[in-house]
A and B are shown apart, each in its own frame.
Chain A
């Protein structure tokens, strides 16, 4: 269980130490003058394996390498967290009256939050009980290639009735997520996404901002009409393939070209010469069908069904925000500034003060909100298209920062639920 490489990480530095370090490094630079400059700045040449850098002393150029060798297997005595993930098709209600057929991990959308300690092992048994095929991609994890969940890239997709065991060490620490990587545009939008929280052994955020509550907000959107239409088509194709799998005569007709699968570029080009027409051709698909999301969700729900963030005066709360959809969102908190502390799981070199934070697809951002201004405050996407339900405002990605002790500080107005303006 030897670490591949123990490194000096920013998390090992407390906020006070960090500030001192910055000042110290800057001061040293000023004092040392030319001697502190990297070799390339001095006219010399830097070796390829050790690039010269003008960054601060705390910067670790090798910092993106995994701490442990991803190809190692668990050793006796190591903790392995075991989970079962079952994919089915079910019904999810976004807001009252708006239901959608979706893929569900363990019957829920988003999928269950997986929370483990840094460097502990995670074993996930994926069982596919839906008529489509799936994988799980562990977004942000540094794991062995075969566990990355890319169909035809690192594994065969998991067909109906089949299973696949994922096993990886949870590294690096931070806020991450997981999603199906088969036809990602559809499968992720149709429900196969969830949060993966890897808790740091030494939590620099907690050290700096002792927080008592830890929220995860997974942001996503859905074009309910497109998902319904596409899911129907895919389920039909999946059931057809399953019927072929179960019939010896039909099995002989199985052909990757039906699904657009080819061994390599040469095979693809040969098929075109033989008369195959790719699905993306205008003659096959017609004018581009633009995906137009009509519902925007936080943890699978649109306002007014989103859950509030609760806080008390003087309390710090950590909010982990995950760009689990296809659109960027710009979350703005009323009445407060907050600290942006981590990006894509990793602590920032220094917390950044903001009141609106962009969350791009595939990214995660952790913020700390400090309970400084009792009341009931809106926290919402400031890209206002996303604060609608089917085009009707208010809705979508809106929630509230609610002080549980607001009345104690003279705030008596109760927020009123509104479904149209």
Chain B
């Protein structure tokens, strides 16, 4: 309805412009934005944030987390998946809260999408933050994927171990395990302990027993609790972050029935150091409640009861307090409680050499081994090896700076003020 009204208004404006060519309008017709709730109020210039990540690698061999392709997955490729561009706008509200909008797209692996690289809308959400709570609605990171992130080259490397998998996904787009449509409210105590309560629409792309799904309804809900350490002190603190959560997924009975999930993890410094930091990341994803005892296809591997544990050890060398290089080993093990011969292990050995602020040359070796049942569900691929060499460029830049971070050291240590 909004779009329709907007188009009508735009057409009308263009008509007026044609009739009165001699008049110069201050608002060009093509500049007409979508209608907003209070259109007569000019907008206050918001703070604009642009975040970009470019991940470009030459892959020798291939490690895939998604739908099998009959054993043709092996081969070399030039890979730009997981590259993303995100734009955010934020502003202070009358009573000190922060309102923001974030929109972003992420490049998919060509092998996931068939023909050509496609962009996946991974961020499109509106967010309200006040001192003691945050509420957000839209497409963004799955709340279950926020407890621990791992130091692999791409966020979807070893995703079957590191993420609570989307039981409604066909598996063609691995990012369906990472992002979903979420409505969430997060309460906090002193901005260090956070309780997240959410409902989700996990993206439904699988051809379920009810036929291909086009549903957009809520199919998951859950809660999590997380503790975050002081920002900026990650090199010298012992406990950086830790948390746990519960998730319920409403899966049809013929697809195994509803599934419950428990997950817990954290990031701990084994050797706090400004120069030679060694940290440990651990995450366990445990699902139960499904009746599946075998895999009819890849989607069943996302639904069946399983336990996945992932750990990563990272060494970061920062000779003058600035990162110079990083080496990490991430390892995952997954087993299915009711499906035999379906265990899997995954390894990622990742090296990063910093060439400039945010720009790195990277190398990664990826290995996955699947048991017979799982390999069959993945088109017979028991072993997968890949060597990836390339560059990563990360940037995060702010314009119209006017909104400071809510969880700043000053706010945490010296009384909160909205600024």
Residue ranges of A at the interface with B (Cβ–Cβ < 8 Å) = 89-91, 99-101, 131, 224-226, 228-229, 231-233, 235-237, 239-240, 243-244, 247, 249-250, 253, 255, 257-258, 275-277, 283-284, 286
A89 pairs with B236, CB closer than 8 A: no
For the complex, what is the distance from the CA of A5 to the CA of B410, rounded to whole Å? 50
For the complex, what is the distance from the CA of A131 to the CA of B412, rounded to whole Å? 13
Q: Which 4 A-B pairs have the closest CB atoms?
A: A236-B232, A258-B321, A243-B236, A101-B410
A233 pairs with B322, CB closer than 8 A: no
Who on chain B is nearest to A283 by CB? B356
B419 pairs with A250, CB closer than 8 A: no
Total A-B pairs in contact (CB under 8 Å)? Answer: 89
**Which of B276, B405, B409 is in CB contact (< 8 Å) with A239?**
B409
B401 pairs with A225, CB closer than 8 A: yes
**Which of A91, A224, A284 is in CB contact (< 8 Å) with B415?**
A91
For the complex, what is the distance from the CA of A237 to the CA of B233, rounded to whole Å? 8
For the complex, what is the distance from the CA of A229 to the CA of B408, rounded to whole Å? 9
Binary interface encoding of chain B residues 235-277 relative to chain A, with 1 for a CB under 8 A from any of its CBs, else 0: 1110000000000000000000000000000000000111110
For the complex, what is the distance from the CA of A11 to the CA of B419, rounded to whole Å? 49
A228 pairs with B321, CB closer than 8 A: no
For the complex, what is the distance from the CA of A239 to the CA of B413, rounded to whole Å? 11
Q: Which residues of B contact A244 (CB under 8 A)?
A: 236, 274
Who on chain A is nearest to B405 by CB? A232
Interface size on B, residues (CB 8 A): 30
For the complex, what is the distance from the CA of A258 to the CA of B417, rounded to whole Å? 30
Asked whether B340 is an interface residue with its Cβ less than 8 Å from the other chain, the reply is no
Asked whether B30 is an interface residue with its Cβ less than 8 Å from the other chain, the reply is no
Within 8 A of A (CB), among B399-413: 401-402, 404-405, 408-410, 413
B274 pairs with A240, CB closer than 8 A: yes
Residue ranges of B at the interface with A (Cβ–Cβ < 8 Å) = 230-233, 235-237, 272-276, 319-322, 356-357, 401-402, 404-405, 408-410, 413-415, 417, 419
B410 pairs with A253, CB closer than 8 A: no
B273 pairs with A253, CB closer than 8 A: yes
For the complex, what is the distance from the CA of A35 to the CA of B414, rounded to whole Å? 71
A228 pairs with B319, CB closer than 8 A: no
For the complex, what is the distance from the CA of A100 to the CA of B404, rounded to whole Å? 11
B275 pairs with A243, CB closer than 8 A: no
Contact A236/B409 with A229-B404, A253-B273 known, Cβ cut-off 8 Å = yes
A243 pairs with B401, CB closer than 8 A: no
Q: List 9 A-B contacts (CB under 8 A).
A: A224-B419, A225-B419, A229-B401, A239-B230, A239-B233, A240-B235, A253-B274, A255-B320, A284-B322
Q: Which residues of A contact B319 (CB under 8 A)?
A: 275
For the complex, what is the distance from the CA of A247 to the CA of B235, rounded to whole Å? 13
Given contacts A225-B404, A236-B233, A255-B320, list 14 more A-B pairs with CB under 8 A: A91-B415, A101-B410, A225-B401, A233-B232, A235-B232, A235-B413, A237-B232, A240-B233, A244-B236, A250-B274, A253-B273, A258-B274, A258-B320, A276-B320
- Nearest-neighbour CB distance to chain A for B21, whole angstroms, equals 36
